[in-house]
Amino acid sequence: MKRVLVIGAHPDDETYGVGGTILKHTARGDVVSVLILTDGVTARHNEVEIQKAAARRACEHLDVTDVRFAGLPDQRLDSLPLLEVIRPIHAAIRELAPEIVYTHHRGDVNQDHRMIFAATLVAVRPLEGNSVKRVLSYEMASSTEWGPPFTEWAFLPNVFVDISATLEAKLRAVEAYRETFQSEVKPFPHPRSPEAVRICAQQRGVTVGMQAAEAFVLVRELVLHHTDFDIIPFLR
């Protein structure tokens, strides 16, 4: 049993980015917590509670009951000192002692995602006493693939999780975000459409011989004891 922390900038990042993998974790008895850093909506409207309710419903489909909201301002993280973004992440790590952390990709076009990647790197520094042994970045529909064609922005995955058995449940979790003040679920061919989510999962899968997969960049892994090799998920 592992303790897992999924960090997202906005409600729905956890589902679109890591939903199938979260279900793999919970199915094998891992304890998963989700930390959402911003309200996700106040750049567009003020219906924050509707967005939170959708996040809780989505996480129920992912078998996650521990959903935390830091309440930082949507699309304005770059206006805050980085320390203010680090604090809720550091507090969650100190309280939950996760061994595995999922966070955003450093090259996403969304500036909130980039700020959270930078804040996460500080919060998971491999200092004595820090529980985190594995840090992975996930891709986010309509952000990761929309980055500019520069090497330093590229998402180059080197970890693939087989979500063939959990894709349908992930898509049900995605549907929870249709019931927001402004729906986060878009019509095809938008990357946030259910059809596009399925296609992306299948595309990631066929690159590694699976029916469907989620892809990640391994940022850091610490192997301190022989038992830590078990932290590598779902590759055996």
pLDDT tens per residue, range 6-19 = 999 999 999 999 99
Domain presence at residue 128? yes
How many C-alpha atoms does 182 have within 13 Å on its Cβ side?
A: 9
For residues 93 and 124, the answer to whether their CB atoms sit within 8 Å is yes
pLDDT class for 224, splitting at 50, 70, 90? confident
Domain presence at residue 236? no
pLDDT of residue 41: 77
Domain span holding position 10: 3-231
Locate 190 and state its tokens.
Answer: 């938008």
pLDDT of residue 73: 93
What percentage of residues in the chain have a pLDDT greater than 70?
94
pLDDT tens-digit map of 127-136: 888 999 999 9
pLDDT tens-digit map of 206-219: 999 999 999 999 99
pLDDT of residue 181: 63
Q: Give bridge partners of residue 4 from the DSSP assignment.
A: 32, 100
pLDDT of residue 227: 61
Q: Cα dihedral angle (45, 54, 195, 182), rounded to 10 degrees?
A: -20
Mean pLDDT (the chain, rounded): 92
For residues 132 and 93, the answer to whether their CB atoms sit within 8 Å is yes
**pLDDT at 235 > cutoff 50:** no
Q: Of 234, 188, 175, which is closest to residue 4 (Cα–Cα)?
A: 234
Domain presence at residue 188? yes
pLDDT tens-digit map of 121-179: 999 999 888 999 999 999 999 999 998 889 999 999 999 999 999 999 999 999 999 97
Domain presence at residue 111? yes
Domain presence at residue 23? yes
What percentage of residues in the chain have a pLDDT greater than 90?
80
Q: Quick one: average pLDDT of 205-234?
A: 83
pLDDT of residue 33: 98
pLDDT of residue 232: 52
Domain tally, the chain: 1
CATH number of the domain at 218, please: 3.40.50.10320
Q: Quick one: average pLDDT of 29-50?
A: 88
